[in-house]
Structure formats: C-alpha cells, structure tokens
C-alpha cells in the first residue's frame, strides 16, 4: 500500500514537473516578459485578487517589465494605448473573425461564416456583459457544451451550465473591471436582494443567447443575401473599401449602402421574427375593430408585418435600394413598420450594441474578403429559415468560397 502511494505521488510530481516545464519552455507565451513565478503559476495573480490588490500587482509588473507582461501562465496584460483600443473595441474581434474566415478559405477552399459569426458575437457579448471573452475566436472552435446543444435553440441545461460559467467569470473580473452584469450581481448578493442565484444564472444564459445568436444569424443571412447579388456585392465592397482604415463605428453610420443592406437583412431575416405576446389590460381593448377582453394574450410577429406589400413592394425580394433616398420610395415611411428588435417598452435593450456589431462586422468582412462567392452548398433550400424562437438556416451552415 505504501509503495502504491509512493508511486502515485511520484507520478503526480512527474506530471507537475512536465506541466511546469511546458509553461516555462514550450508555451507560446514563453517569449513574453514576466517574472518566473507568473510564468509558472496563476497563484500570485489569484492571491492579488483575493487580497484586493490585483490592479497594483499588475501595475507593478508593467513598471518592471514594460507595456506587455505575462501575469499568469495563460494570461498577458497590455498597457500601451494602441493595443488597449484594439483589444477593447469590437473592431478587434471583427478583425480576428475575418482573419479566421480568410485563413479557413486559404487552408480548405471554403469557410462556414455562420460558425465564425457565432464565435465572434459570443466573444464580444461575453467580454461586454461579463468582463471576459469566451475565447472561441482564438480557439477556432466552440466549447463542448456548445457542441452538445441543439443547432436551432439553446437547451435549459446549456443555459444553466454556460450561465453559471459567465456568472463566475463576472464575479472574478468585477473586482477590477465593471461590466454590464455587475449591477445584477451586486443586487443578488444583497441580504435584501430579490434575485436568487438561480435567477442570476438563468439571466446570464439568456443574455448570452440574446447577444450572440441574434447577431450571428443576422450577419450570416446578410453575407448570403449580398453574395447572392454580385452587383450589390461589388457596390458594397467599393463603398466600405473607400473608407480610411482607421474608421470607427461613427464613420460607418454614414455609409448609405452598408446601412441599407443591414436594414433589409433585418427586415427579411431578422433573428427573432416570431410572435411577441402581450396581455390585454383592464377593461379590454379594440384591435382591428374587434373588442378583446382583459387578460387575453395578443401578439404580433414582425415576419408578417415585414412582408406587407403596402409597405414593402415585392416584399419577398432582398432589395437594399428600397432604403435609399431618391429612388421614388419613402424609406422613412417604410421604417414605421420595421420592428426587428421588438417595440415599445419590450424593445431590445441591446439595439445600439447590435447595430455597432453589425456595422463593424459587415464592413470588415466586405473590406477584407473581396470577391468571395457562395459555395454550391449555400442554396435557398439550405438557407431557408427554420423558426423555433430564433430563426436559423435549415442546413445549419453557410459556406463561402474564394472568387
């Protein structure tokens, strides 16, 4: 028994030594400056977090080693201003997503934009909402939990598991950075708070889906629709190609064709086009000339409204020009029926963030991936939307090829 225990201990020590040797000698971060103890273990960083001194710990390392320093075996801190702006702007994630799409095109001749847009949107949402990216773009793959969930909608188990991970990350990072979820965590941890731990985890899961799937689906259909019209593709590539490389989201707001393409995508392929239920208030209401008593559920779905031919001539055709002034149509009147983000008090709280991600991602793609075309697999049959709550391509992918 003692010999077995000694053998197990020896094996454990050997594994630890091998892991340590890898961190010091073979890690892809081995060339980044930093002390030996941060190269070998996360413990110093964790101690600084527990003692409330994380900012001082990292600042001291920057003072000693410069603007780029390794603060843990798998973590790097950067303090230079250009890199700070690149890391913390969605534009940085756009560049990474487009680079991954290009890399896969060069390596295999094809790339599934639905996959990469999902990774992009999830990473941006994770960073903004919980203080930490999920790292899917860097990995080039999803986590196992992502693979287990159904392609059409997120299961309750998925929401619970990933919501729990996000809450844990947010609690850790809230010590040094504020994020969208911090206020909810603060409320849940009050003795008099009304939010339970289960409420917080569930809400975290809902935020992940709301901030990732919707953007990914919209971007996928945008790429598919534009590549289906080569003349439109050329015009859009020319418009975004004329923009100075240092562009920001404010510059993209002024590009008429880019914004028209996004609006038309939201009209025809908005990610959540289904019914949004409401309960009729006290004393009932009159709808379309019919009295509906209180307590009855009424709903509207943007899918039907967006196909109203009195608002949108030839409504089933993707026609971005309908949103441009000077073509004999009235874009402002057409916008009155546009509701891809819901409406009123129940409208999407993330609408401005969504627009930012859509503009930056679409502009980045059509600047850097000029001349790409749809793969033969990207047919109407494979892209026809299936709808549970969100829509999704029935083929569960959208492949593109080099032109």
Name residues whose C-beta falls within 8 Å of residue 195's C-beta, 6 or more positions apart in sequence.
184, 187, 188
- How far apart (Å, rounded) are the C-alpha atoms in residues 220 and 118? 9
- DSSP secondary structure letters along 59-101: HHHHHHH-SEEEEETTEEEE--HHHHHHHTSHHHHHHHHHHHH
Q: Is 243 helix (H, G, I), strand (E, B) or coil?
A: coil
Residue 348 assigned ligand-binding role = yes
* DSSP-assigned beta bridge partners for residue 386: 392
Q: Residue 386: enclosing H or E segment and its boundaries? A: strand 385-387
CB neighbourhood size of 129 (10 A): 24
Q: Tell me the C-alpha to C-alpha distance, in Å, between residue 250 and each of 10, 67, 215, 222, 247.
A: 60, 29, 19, 20, 8
- How far apart (Å, rounded) are the C-alpha atoms in residues 177 and 396? 36
- How far apart (Å, rounded) are the C-alpha atoms in residues 131 and 144? 21
DSSP letter assigned to residue 313: S
- How far apart (Å, rounded) are the C-alpha atoms in residues 314 and 334? 13
Which structure tokens are listed for 279?
A: 């309960």
Annotated binding site for heme: 348
């Amino acid at each position: 028994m003692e010999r077995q225990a000694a053998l197990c201990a020896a094996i454990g020590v050997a594994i630890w030594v091998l892991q340590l040797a890898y961190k010091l000698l073979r890690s892809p971060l081995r060339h980044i400056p930093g002390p030996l103890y941060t190269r070998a273990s996360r413990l110093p960083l964790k101690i600084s977090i527990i003692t409330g001194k994380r900012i001082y710990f990292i600042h001291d390392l920057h003072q000693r080693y410069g603007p780029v320093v390794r603060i843990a075996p798998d973590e790097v801190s950067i303090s230079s201003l250009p890199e700070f702006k690149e890391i913390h702007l969605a534009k940085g994630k756009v560049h990474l997503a487009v680079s991954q799409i290009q890399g896969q095109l060069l390596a295999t001749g094809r790339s599934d934009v639905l996959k990469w847009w999902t990774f992009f949107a999830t990473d941006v949402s994770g960073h903004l909402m919980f203080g930490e990216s999920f790292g899917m773009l860097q990995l080039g793959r999803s986590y196992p939990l992502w693979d287990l969930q159904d392609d059409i909608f997120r299961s309750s188990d998925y929401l619970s598991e990933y919501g729990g991970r996000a809450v844990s990350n947010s609690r850790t990072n809230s010590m040094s950075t504020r994020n969208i979820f911090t206020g909810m965590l603060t409320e849940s941890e009050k003795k008099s708070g009304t939010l339970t731990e289960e409420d917080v985890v569930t809400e975290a899961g809902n935020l992940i889906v709301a901030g990732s799937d919707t953007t990914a689906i919209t971007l996928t259909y945008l790429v598919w629709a534009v590549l289906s019209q080569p003349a439109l593709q050329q015009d859009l590539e020319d418009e975004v190609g004329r923009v100075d490389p240092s562009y920001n989201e404010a510059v993209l707001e002024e590009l008429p064709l880019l914004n028209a393409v996004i609006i038309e995508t939201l009209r025809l392929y908005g990610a959540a086009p289904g019914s949004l239920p409401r309960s009729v208030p006290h004393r009932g209401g009159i709808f379309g000339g019919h009295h509906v008593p209180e307590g009855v559920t009424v709903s509207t779905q943007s899918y039907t409204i967006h196909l109203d031919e009195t608002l949108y001539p030839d409504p089933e055709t993707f026609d971005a020009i309908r949103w441009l002034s000077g073509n004999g149509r009235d874009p402002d009147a057409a916008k009155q029926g546009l509701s891809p983000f819901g409406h009123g008090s129940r409208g999407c709280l993330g609408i401005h963030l969504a627009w930012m991600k859509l503009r930056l991602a679409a502009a980045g793609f059509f600047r850097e991936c000029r001349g790409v075309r749809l793969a033969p697999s990207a047919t109407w049959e494979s892209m026809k939307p299936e709808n549970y709550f969100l829509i999704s391509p029935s083929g569960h992918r959208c492949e593109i090829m080099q032109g």
